[in-house]
Amino acid sequence: MVDLLERLRLRLAGFNAQPLLALLGLISGLISGVIIILFRKAIEISQTGILPDQRAGESTEDFELLSMAWRFFLPVSGGLILALMLFFFSRPGYRFGVVHIMERLAHFEGNLPIRNAVLQFFGAIVALVSGQSVGREGPSAHLGAAGSSLLGNYLLLPNNSIRTLVACGTAAAIAASFNTPLAGVIFSMEVVMMEYSIAGFTPVILAAVSATALTRWVYGSEPVFSVPPLEMYSMMEFPIILIMGIVLGALAAGFISLLHWVTENNSALPVWRRMIIAGVGVGLCGMFVPEVMGIGYDTVNNALHGNAALGGLLLIVFFKVLATSLSIGLGVPGGLIGPTLFMGATAGGVIGLLTGYIPMEVSHPGFYAMLGMGAMMGACLQAPLAALVTLLELTANPHIILPGMLAIVSANLTAKELFSKDSIFISQIRAFGLDYRNDPVAQSLRRLAVASVMDREYVTTKQVIDIGQAKELLQGAPRWIIIEKDESKLRMPATDLARFLEEYNGEEAIDLMEIPSQRQQLGAVHIRATLQEAKEIMEKSQAEALYVKRPIAPLVDRIYGIVDKEAIEKGYRL
C-alpha cells in the first residue's frame, strides 16, 4: 500500500496525472461542500433569536427591524468578541479570505495553515451575525481552499498537486456558497490562480459540480436572488449602459483606493484595537443606514425589484462603501465579493431610477441593478468573465448577457485604464507590504514537481571506497555518482570513475575527491517541491544541482534523484 501511494505521488508530479487529479478534485469538492454547509448552518442557527423574525434555516438579515441602540450595540459587541478571539489565538501577520489564498499560493505553494482556517470559520460567523459589512463568499473560499490543502498535505502530495487542489477547493466553495458552479470555476482560474490550463480545468470543474450538488441537496437549486424576468427594452439604451459602466468603474476605483488607504494606514495597530474600531464604525453606520449591515441580500433583492427610493439608495451606496472599507481594511474576517455585488446592485438601481427622467421608454430599474452587480464585481476583481458568469447564474436571466458584457467591460476598463487600479485583492496584498508576482515563467514551473524531471540514474557512495565497491557502483551504468562528504553531498559523472578504473592497477582505497573529475556541490530539495521552488533554492544557495529527498527518520533522508538547471529548463519547455 505504501509503495502504491508512493507511485501515485510521483505520477502526480507531472502532466500525465489527470485521472488522479480528477478523483482528488471530486473528493475536494465533497469536502468543501460539507464545510460550506456547516458554515452556513452555523450562521443561520447563530442568527436565530438575535434578528427579528429570524428562523433557523433562513437568512433574511432583517437588521432594519432592530432598534437604533441594538444596531450600534450588535457590531460593537461583535468587534469586542473578534478582538478577544484574534488577540489570544491569531499570530502576527494573520490573513483571511481570498487574499490569504493568493498569498499562500504566491509564497507557500498553496499550503494553508489550519489555525487560520479555524479562526476564519468562527471569526466569519461572529462578523456576519453581528452585522459587520462583509460577505460570506471570501470566508467560504478560504475554508474550501484550506480543506483541500490539508487533504493534499495529509496524503503528502507534491506541491504542484496541492496548488491544483487549492483551486478545486476555492471553486467548490464559491459554487456552493452562491449556487453558481460555473462561476466558481471561472473565479478560481481567473481571480485566484490567474491562469487557464487544460489540465487544471477537469479537477476544478468536478470539484464545483460535487460541491454544488451537495449544497443543492440541502438548500435547493433556486438562484440566490429572486429576479423578475427583466430584459433590455431597446437597443437605444446602450449609451446609458456604457455611461453606467463608466460610473461604476469610477465607484470601484474609489472603493479600492479607500480600502487600500484604510488597510495601509492601520496595519500597524494591534489587532484587538482594529476590531473594536471596525465594530464602532459599522455600528455608527448601521444606526442610520441599517441596510449596510451584514451580507445584505434582502436589500439587493429590493433593488432588483425596484422597491427602493432614489435618496435611500444613494445613502446606502455611500455608507456601504464606508462600512466595508472599515470592516475589511481593519482586518475583520469576512469577504469582499458579497459587498461588491451589493454596491453594484444599489448603485445600478440609482442609475435605473435616474433613467426614469429620460424622455424615452427605458428598462425597469431592476434591470440596471442587475447590470450594476456584474459591473462592480468585474471592476473590483478585474475579472470580467467571472463577473459575467456570476451575473448570469445568480439571476438565471439569459437576457442579461449582451448588455452585461458592455457594462462589465466598460467598468473594468475605467477602473484599470482610467484610474490605474489593480484587482482589489492584489491591492490588498500590496497594502500589507507583500510582494505579489505572477509571471508566466513561475506559473509554468509551478505546474510540475521536481519528481517529474529528476534524473534517477545515480548511485550514492562514501568518499573513500575500495576497487570492488567502485566496480559495483558502475554495474548499473549510472549517469551520476553522489558522494557523501562530511555533511555535504557532491555529484560527479560516473564516466570519470569508469575512465579512472581503466587506467588503475593498484589495490589501495580510492578517494573519489582526488580522481580527475568535474564535481559539483549539491543542495537539497524536498520531493514535494515544484520546479519553481527548486529554481529559487538554486539561486539562493548557488548550488549547481539539487538532490531530491524525503525525510524517512530524524536526520535520515531517502534520495530519489537529481535536478539541475537543464532539467528545470526542460520542465519549462514541456
Q: What is the pLDDT of residues 265-306, one digit of tens each?
A: 988 889 999 999 999 999 999 999 999 998 888 888 888 888
**pLDDT one-digit tens code per residue, 468-499:** 888 888 888 899 999 998 878 999 999 999 99
pLDDT recorded at residue 95: 82
Is the entire prediction scored with pTM above 0.85? yes
Q: How far apart are CA 203 and CA 560, in angstroms?
A: 28
- Average pLDDT of every residue of the chain: 88
Q: Which segments of 267-304 does DSSP mark as H helices, in order? A: 271-288, 297-304
Distances (CA, A) of 477 to 53, 459, 480, 494, 509: 78, 9, 9, 8, 21
Does residue 407 contact residue 245 with C-beta atoms inside 8 Å?
A: yes
Residues above pLDDT 90, as percent of the chain:
55
Q: Which CATH architecture has domain 2-225?
A: Orthogonal Bundle (1.10)
Average pLDDT over residues 128-133: 93
Contact 415, 249 (CB under 8 A): yes
- Find out whether 47 and 54 touch, Cβ atoms under 8 Å: yes
**Which pLDDT score, from 0 to 100, does residue 376 have?**
96
CATH number (2.40.30.60, 3.40.30.10, 3.40.190.10, 1.10.3080.10) of 235-431 reads 1.10.3080.10
Helix (H, G, I), strand (E, B) or coil at 560: strand
Q: DSSP label at 456?
A: -
By mean pLDDT, which of 87-101, 334-348, 430-444 is the weakest?
A: 430-444
Residue with more model confidence, 468 or 261: 261
Rounded to whole angstroms, the Cα distance separating 461 from 332 reads 56
Phi-psi map region of 302: left, alpha, beta (phi>0 left; psi -120 to 50 alpha): alpha
Residue-level pLDDT at 354: 92
Task: Give the model's confidence band at 15: pLDDT under 50 very low, under 70 low, under 90 confident, else very high.
Answer: low
432 pLDDT higher than 60:
yes
Please give the single-letter amino acid code of residue 189. M
CB 241 within 8 A of CB 407: yes
Beta bridge partners of 480: 458, 493
Residue 36's φ and ψ, nearest 5 degrees, are: -70, -40
Spatial CB neighbours of 392, under 8 Å, sequence gap ≥ 6? 183, 398, 400, 401, 404
57 pLDDT band (50/70/90 cuts)? very low
Is residue 177 a contact partner of residue 36, using CB atoms and an 8 Å limit? yes
DSSP three-state, residue 421? coil
- Give the three-state DSSP class for 48: coil
SS3 (DSSP) at 528:
coil
CA 211 to chain centre: 17
CA 363 – CA 187 distance, rounded (Å): 29
Q: What is the CA radius of gyration of the chain?
A: 28
Domains in the chain: boundaries: 2-225, 235-431, 449-573
Distances (CA, A) of 495 to 470, 474, 490, 501, 516: 12, 9, 15, 10, 11
Q: Which carries the bigger pLDDT value, residue 15 or residue 230?
A: 230
**Mean pLDDT over residues 128-147, rounded?**
94
Q: Cα-flanking dihedrals φ and ψ of residue 520, to 5°?
A: -125, 135
> Which segment of 114-123, 140-149, 382-391, 505-514 scores lowest on mean pLDDT?
505-514
CA angle 176, 103, 412 (to 5 degrees): 70
501 burial type by CB count under 10 A (0-12 exposed, 13-18 middle, 19+ buried): middle
pLDDT digits (tens, 9 = 90+) for 103-127: 888 888 889 999 999 999 999 999 9
Beta-strand pair 480-485/458-462? parallel
Q: Which residues pair with 558 in a beta bridge?
A: 550
Residue 506 is classified by DSSP as: -
Cell numbers for 281, please give them: 464604525
Q: How far is residue 162's CA from residue 160's CA, in Å, rounded to a whole number?
A: 5
* 2-225 and 449-573 agree in CATH topology: no
CATH homologous superfamily for the domain 449-573: CBS-domain (3.10.580.10)
User: Could you tell me where the DSSP H helices lie in 90-191?
Assistant: 97-108, 114-129, 137-154, 159-178, 181-187
